[in-house]
Amino acid sequence: MRNISLCVVTFCISFVLLCIYLPIYAKNQNEIASEAFFKKSPDLIAVYTGDSGRLDYTFKKIEKYPSATVFISGVYAKNSLKTLIAKQGTNLSVEEFIEQESHHIQLDYLARNTVENGISTYNYLRTLDAHKNVLIISSDYHILRIKMILETLRDEGDDYIFHFESIESNYAEVRNLKKLFKEVYKLLKTSTFLLFWNE
């Protein structure tokens, strides 16, 4: 009985520590990405859909880095670039944005979860030449799991350099706390899954 209680307490402490650590880790990654792309553009910007704010943040990055290729992974089947832009806010009209930017934006409809986002990202990168520096965009609670997945999926010959930027969540809001708790559970679950990936 004592061992069970100790395990429960250890799990609870680990859970709380991860909840504290995830946003801190994402903030640190933001600083690294900011330094990396201070005077240059990423070759590819990849955003993993799934929560509000990610696409709006990405469209602003598209305007900041017009030379970067953009990969939007996990797009719902009924959406198109036009409908995605219409739901966000850009400095250009929908028609102007499509005319000026659509040539370097690729939509991925296949990915349904973060592991599949990672697989789709690698598959897309391998179709491109000279795309080495990659900026991944997502929510702050999501960054550590994305990085862990991308590192596990990396093939021996891959020389891509991944950087991460995230949208900061307000954890004073209950809905965001729930997302954070859910992400810690997903992180623990994914960690176990990835241990057996190569096998």
Q: Domain coordinates of the chain in residue numbers? A: 23-195
**Cβ neighbour number for residue 40 with a 10 Å cutoff:** 10
pLDDT of residue 101: 75
- The pTM assigned to this predicted structure is 0.90
The confidence score (pLDDT) of residue 182 equals 96
Does residue 134 contact residue 46 with C-beta atoms inside 8 Å?
Answer: yes
Torsion of CA 150, 151, 157, 159, to 10 degrees: 80
Protein fold of 23-195: Rossmann fold (3.40.50)
Residues of the chain with pLDDT under 70: 1, 89-92, 198-199
| CA diameter of the chain | 66
State the pLDDT at residue 48: 97
What does the pLDDT look like over 24-40, one tens digit per residue?
999 999 999 999 999 89
